[in-house]
Amino acid sequence: MPRFSFHVLQDKFLNAHTEADCESSAAARQEAVTIYADLARDMVAESIIDTELQIEVADETGKPIFRITVLAESLN
């Protein structure tokens, strides 16, 4: 089963890296979306603004195959 790496960046608050076996790149993308949803829910619950959250998925060779990036910012 292919092994994918997940790198999570949230400004200076979080810099995490993990690896997981997934059946396919589509399954790895779905895992990234699930991870992102959990983190985004925490950001909203804690009213975190002016931050950028990014999750990048790479294949076994280290080549990025998928990225989610969201910027939450106050316009006041």
How much is the pLDDT for 75?
A: 83
Say if CB 9 and CB 2 are below 8 A apart: no
Check residues 57 and 52 and name the one with the higher pLDDT.
57
Residues 52-76 have a mean pLDDT of 90
Q: Which two tokens stand for residue 75?
A: 């316009």
pLDDT of 40: 80
In the chain, what's the furthest Cα-to-Cα distance? Answer: 48
Q: In the chain, how many domains are there?
A: 1
State how far the Cα of 39 lies from the Cα of 67, in Å rounded to an integer.
15
- Is residue 53 predicted with pLDDT exceeding 70? yes
Domain span at residue 52 reads: 3-72
Strand ranges, E, within 1-76: 3-10, 14-21, 51-58, 64-72
pLDDT digits (tens, 9 = 90+) for 3-50: 999 998 887 667 888 999 999 999 999 999 998 888 888 777 777 777
User: Is residue 69 over pLDDT 70?
Assistant: yes
